[in-house]
Amino acid sequence: MQNVTQLRCVKCGKTYPASPEARTCACGGILDVEYDYDYVRARLTPAALAERPRTMWRYRELLPVEPSTPDTPLRVGWSPLYRADRLAAALGLDRLWIKDDGQNPTASLKDRASALAVAKAGEAGARVIACSSTGNAASSLAGNAAAAGFSTYIFVPSRAPKGKVAQLQIFGATVISVQGSYEETFELSKQAIDRWGWYNRNAAINPYLSEGKKTVTLEILEQLGWCVPDYIALSVGDGCTIAGAWKGLKDLYAAGFIDRLPRLISVQAEGCCPLNRAIATGEPWQPMEENTLADSIAVGVPRNPDKALRAIRESDGVAVNVSDGEILEAMRLLGRTQGVFGEPAGAAGTAGVKKAVELGLIPAGSTVVSIVTGNGLKDVQSGIQAAGEPMRVSPDMDALLAAFAAQDIRP
């Protein structure tokens, strides 16, 4: 890869060649991909981008793949960025945008990482890919791998929502439902991957997957005409997504596309916030219980804490914890003001923006982008909990009028 110089450990600084099979450092640290920015600047230009397909692969010079590696079959990336004036007014902001990554093929941001995993597995000559996941990484891998002809083994905790497990089954994955926590699920998947030599899609081990996730911020800045917002908000679980988002912003800055960096808003659930707690206390992170309905960010033992904490601190970021009630409220707000249906973890970023404004952590005049990381149809039960049940009437006009009167509905 002419665009990639090496991989560097975020803990000890040791460097490694960028082989398709690269994993964590010998010290246990996660690796970062480093680029030749002179090479990138000479080839990745606004004029060049104007001629390219609107998928994540338009940013190939900032992705760790060989020139001969084909784009993956599913259309991943270039999800819509909506100007959210009605929601901004409801939250007390002047300018707000919503990046709806639930519009990706398997309905989550994780498609970006899984597409990169499929590309790198092909480069490595693998035919089987495996991972552990609370749901979205699993379904995104199963779908992207199926389209490209790979087999998958996927480990999910027993609490994974049925909608996400159904996706896995439809995509033909071998699904192992582990009767334990996400931490126990991760450890079992790691043992199985080591035993059978499958290609590892776990984002906290495989250094390339955050590079796929970072394309969400590459897109946001291009869709904003390279005008940098003040804040970008996103939900945080394992830490891989916020780490990737920050890496993308730093890559754009190094490549000369933007002249400053935004601040990140790290949003975690109150019932599971080990990274935000470390930011608040200044102490090392400690494991927590996984006590939240937002299953995608219910990670009590984050696997990418070093990169995530570095991203929040380097960006002078804001750490906000939200209750499950505030997440459900954000789901309703997104739907009723913008027509966007986010799953609980997907709406958590918006819940965090609302709370940050209320607490005075960000000024009302700020320009904010909130990333909705997954679609609400992945967790219909939580959607019903947020929205409530429909009124039920017999097929009779008098019954309808009575129901309207009972709920003070005046057509």
Average pLDDT value for residue range 138-159: 93
Judged by average pLDDT, the poorest of 225-229, 265-269, 382-386 is 382-386
288 Cβ partners below 8 Å, 6+ apart? Answer: 271, 272, 273, 274, 277, 300
Q: 130 pairs with which residues across the strands?
A: 153, 200
> Is the Cα torsion angle 208, 171, 303, 235 positive or negative in sign?
positive
Picking from 304, 270, 264, the residue whose alpha carbon sits closest to that of residue 288 is: 270
Per-residue pLDDT at 135 exceeds 90: no
Whole-number pLDDT of residue 239: 93
Residues 287-342: tens digit of each pLDDT: 999 999 998 899 999 988 999 999 999 999 999 999 999 999 999 999 999 999 99
In the block, residue with structure tokens 């937002």: 294
> Can you give 274-289 as a three-state secondary structure string?
HHHHHHHHCCCCCCCC
Average pLDDT value for residue range 68-81: 97
Whole-number pLDDT of residue 64: 97
Whole-number pLDDT of residue 257: 96
Per-residue pLDDT at 284 exceeds 80: yes
Q: How far apart are CA 155 and CA 178, in angstroms?
A: 7
> Which residues of 184-278 form beta strands (DSSP E)?
199-200, 231-235, 263-269
Average pLDDT value for residue range 347-351: 97
Task: State the DSSP string of 41-59.
Answer: HHH--HHHHTTS-SSGGGG
Q: What angle do CA 175, 178, 182 make, to 5 degrees?
A: 110
